[in-house]
Amino acid sequence: MKKKEFPPDFLWGGATAANQCEGAYDADGRGLSSVDVVPYGPDRMKVARGEMRMLACDEDHRYPSHEAIDMYHHYKEDIRLFAEMGFKCYRLSIAWTRILPHGDDDEPNEAGIAFYLSLLEECRRYQIEPLVTIDHFDTPIDLIERYGGWLDRRMIDAYLKYCRVLFTRFGHLVRYWITFNEINMLLHMSFMGAGIVFSPGENKEQVKYRAAHHELLASAKAVRLAHELMPDSMIGCMLAAGQFYPYTCDPKDIWDGLEKDRDNYFFIDVQARGAYPVWAWKRMERAGVVPDLEDGDLETLAAGAVDYIAFSYYASRCTTADPEVFAKHARPGNAVFRAVVNPHLKNTEWGWQIDPLGLRVTANTLYDRYQKPLFVVENGLGAVDRLEADDTVHDPYRIDYLRQHIEALRDAVCEDGIPVLGYTAWGCIDLVSASSGEMKKRYGMIYVDKDDSGQGTLRRIRKDSFYWYQKVIRSNGADLD
């Protein structure tokens, strides 16, 4: 490989999730899912974290997933635009309840199958490699009502039933799969990540680690099933990555950073190596939260190691062991990850810290730890854009962010030799924000005319970043100007 060049088969593209873009939440037999009842507004985080029970929609709330950007009816136009940008890869997720409306139906919903077949064929028509997330913050409401979400072991069989349908019906069109989106989010947004609603007085940590054990078993079984039914497939895990930096060089801060990183690596250690790391078991024992092991569980995990490590990267994180320093410098707002502000970095409008070099740090750490190929499946800048009267959107801030991160990734690939399969920019078309439910937090290179109150024509408009990314892909990452 020549210096500073991405590999020739590098998979450039973009990423979305069904619930944040498809809309049509009750069309053609689709069942209700966890993400459909997470509302816009002040209750959103409470529901997403599992602190407020909402298993049906009510009149007092608005639910952004119901229409989103209506990709269900616009996918041909959207994929044509992705192809125009030069995408080699499109990461999407399948909505579980479009396929199995109750989560574990004996017969799949053929209308749902037909929709995804058509969408995937459309990708293939433009030589776009689809990358499918099997479960992107998506637990069928019926299963939550019957089982209480992933806390219950029976979720594993339901998930496997769903996987079997996906692999048998779409396996000829899809080579790359991810078992769970950002599996470590289960610890932070337990309803989004695992369909869990906490009861008063419940030991939350115990519930989370039990649910985690079930998702890890399900992931391992899905890997085996994928390899059995689709021998050429590549099936990966995925984490919300971003290294914790110590606030100072005080050894206590270093240890604190290591411990916080372990919260996230915990999942990937199991999925990549096929076993719980020693410290994890000790830690769960000390906290009294060891999951229930059944015969064969450890063998299942051992036999289900993933083929590659996918991750999202938006920012690094910063931490301190000193409670006073923490209180003084804590990140403001309702941040998903508790952290302190890193004084060396700038912030986005939503207070996410911008750290391109952190992507190189994170990629190196992940490869050192697992020695499996990596895939950057989310990265991008959420920002407010303005649609000009002449139908243009000038977003130099987004181009800057992406340029710096792609440069850092290029260093990881070219200078450090890290094998990276591809890069899919998050929310390549504007969509609903997962954490805030807003439309105005836009990531796209394609603008969608819709606002936070749900108004707009849903028209698609190319932003400046559209043409910039087109050039990046055409030059295989050599031209980032």
C-beta separation of 267 from 216 below 8 A: yes
- Binding to ligand BGP, residues 295-314 (CB under 6 A): 312
CB-facing half-sphere around the CA of 244: CA atoms within 13 A? 21
Q: How far apart are CA 455 and CA 53, in angstroms?
A: 28
User: Is 48 an interacting residue with respect to ligand BGP (CB under 6 A)?
Assistant: no
CB-facing half-sphere around the CA of 341: CA atoms within 13 A? 14
Stretch of 96-104, 145-153, 355-363, 433-441 contacting ligand BGP, by CB under 6 A: 433-441
Q: How far is the CB of 238 from ligand BGP (least distance, A)?
A: 8
Q: Write the CB contacts of 247 (distance below 8 Å, at least 6 apart in sequence).
A: 253, 318, 319, 320, 322, 325, 329, 340, 342
> Mask of contacts with ligand BGP, 19-38, x by CB under 6 A?
-x------------------
Q: How far is the CB of 16 from ligand BGP (least distance, A)?
A: 8
Q: How far is the CB of 184 from ligand BGP (least distance, A)?
A: 10
Stretch of 4-12, 287-295, 338-346, 432-440 contacting ligand BGP, by CB under 6 A: 432-440
Q: How far is the CB of 308 from ligand BGP (least distance, A)?
A: 17
Q: Residue 294 catalytic?
A: no
> Mask of contacts with ligand BGP, 158-197, x by CB under 6 A?
-----------------------xx---------------
Output 163 or 432, the one with its CB closest to ligand BGP: 432
Contacts of range 337-342, beta carbons closer than 8 Å, 24 or more positions apart: 337/188, 337/242, 339/244, 340/247, 342/245, 342/247, 342/316, 342/318
User: Is 426 an interacting residue with respect to ligand BGP (CB under 6 A)?
Assistant: yes
Provide the 8-state DSSP code for 31: P
Number of residues engaging ligand BGP in binding (CB under 6 A):
14
User: Is 401 an interacting residue with respect to ligand BGP (CB under 6 A)?
Assistant: no
22, 122, 182, 215: which is the annotated catalytic residue? 182
* Number of C-beta neighbours around residue 218 at 10 A: 26
Q: Residue 438 catalytic?
A: no
Strand residue runs (E) in 104-151: 129-135
Output 435 or 476, the one with its CB closest to ligand BGP: 435
Residue 451, token pair as written in the block: 């606002």
C-beta separation of 339 from 331 below 8 A: yes
User: Is 348 an interacting residue with respect to ligand BGP (CB under 6 A)?
Assistant: no
Output 248 or 334, the one with its CB closest to ligand BGP: 334
Q: How far is the CB of 19 from ligand BGP (least distance, A)?
A: 8
145, 378, 388, 415: which is the annotated catalytic residue? 378
- Binding to ligand BGP, residues 2-21 (CB under 6 A): 17, 20
Stretch of 42-50, 149-157, 398-406, 429-437 contacting ligand BGP, by CB under 6 A: 429-437
User: Is 434 an interacting residue with respect to ligand BGP (CB under 6 A)?
Assistant: yes
Residue among 68, 89, 240, 339 that touches ligand BGP (CB under 6 A): 240
Q: How far is the CB of 440 from ligand BGP (least distance, A)?
A: 11
Output 166 or 183, the one with its CB closest to ligand BGP: 183
Q: How far is the CB of 222 from ligand BGP (least distance, A)?
A: 18
C-beta separation of 374 from 420 below 8 A: yes
Output 19 or 300, the one with its CB closest to ligand BGP: 19
Q: How far is the CB of 376 from ligand BGP (least distance, A)?
A: 13
Helix axis angle for 356-370 and 251-273, nearest 10°, is: 60
Provide the 8-state DSSP code for 103: S
CA-closest candidate to residue 150, choices 95, 218, 94, 98: 218
Residue among 210, 360, 403, 441 that touches ligand BGP (CB under 6 A): 441
Strand 346-347 with 353-354, pairing: antiparallel
Place of tokens 């996987």: 163
Residue 232, token pair as written in the block: 């050429």
Residue among 50, 246, 382, 477 that touches ligand BGP (CB under 6 A): 382
Stretch of 72-80, 359-367, 383-391, 435-443 contacting ligand BGP, by CB under 6 A: 435-443
The 3-state DSSP class for residue 133 equals: strand
Residue among 435, 470, 475, 476 that touches ligand BGP (CB under 6 A): 435
Output 17 or 268, the one with its CB closest to ligand BGP: 17
Q: How far apart are CA 130 and CA 148, in angstroms?
A: 32
Q: How far is the CB of 346 from ligand BGP (least distance, A)?
A: 17
The 3-state DSSP class for residue 318 equals: strand
Q: How far apart are CA 413 and CA 168, in angstroms?
A: 34
Stretch of 5-13, 259-267, 363-371, 430-438 contacting ligand BGP, by CB under 6 A: 430-438
Contacts of range 39-48, beta carbons closer than 8 Å, 24 or more positions apart: 39/63, 39/437, 40/64, 40/437, 40/438, 40/452, 41/437, 44/435, 44/436, 44/437, 45/334, 45/435, 47/191, 48/189, 48/191, 48/192, 48/435
Output 185 or 412, the one with its CB closest to ligand BGP: 185
Residues catalogued as catalytic:
182, 378
Q: Which residues bind ligand BGP (CB under 6 A)?
A: 17, 20, 181-182, 240, 312, 378, 382, 426, 433-436, 441
